[in-house]
Structure 1
Amino acid sequence: MTAHRGVSAVEAVDRVAAAVLAHPAVAGLHGGTFGDITTYLPGRRVAGVRFADADAAVAVGVVLRLGDPLPEVVDQLRGRVVAELGEIPVDVEICGVVAPGEDGAGEGVPGPGGA
């Protein structure tokens, strides 16, 4: 894993996770059905964000709260990742949905240091 635009890979993963989790429609991050949306860092893993290198797409797995139209939320999440890392391809995978007010913690990992 290499840095992207002067940001270390560790910092990039943490920034993406924080930006995505800050969106009001995001109930939590999710590593995907087989855990393939995960970045392994020294001493920890970040489920819900896969960041391989500066040239590859960033993949984000999320559990969303129902409410806003899902395509709009996906576009907004892509915009948040681009705002953190610059122009880079972003793949957003909706791994689950919960009712408004639910936290989604049972569906995936609620934050960057999770499981």
Structure 2
Amino acid sequence: MNTLSSIQGQMLEKMQVLRAASQAPAVLPANGGEAAQGFADALKNAVHTVDARQHHASQTMAAVDSGRSDDLATAMIDGQKASVSFSALLQVRNKLVSAFDDIMRTPL
């Protein structure tokens, strides 16, 4: 009889934990608590991020070229980061265009 009451107690504790978890606030997105605005906004943010990274890389390269900075390694790394982010953005664009073409070719 003692084991039955202990099992019931454990089940009651688990039920209370699950009830508390179900009443807890929803999990916030990783972007600082802001809800996603939409797919178009996500793409716009990605384009702006890549653009900012390319501008930063060109500024560091211009600083090295003009002699204001002698940190060639950082300038090269920034350039590579900009290149990789641009390539990733192009791949996403290519996938989107391919998906759009597939949808347009689908017979009705």
What TM-score bracket applies, with the shorter chain setting the length? under 0.3
Considering Cα pairs closer than 8 Å and 6+ residues apart, tell me whether 1 or 2 has the greater RCO.
1
Kindly name which structure, 1 or 2, has the bigger radius of gyration based on alpha carbons. 2
Q: Between Structure 1 and Structure 2, which shows a larger proportion of helix residues?
A: 2
TM (norm. structure 1) is 0.25
Q: Between Structure 1 and Structure 2, which shows a larger proportion of strand residues?
A: 1
TM (norm. structure 2) is 0.26
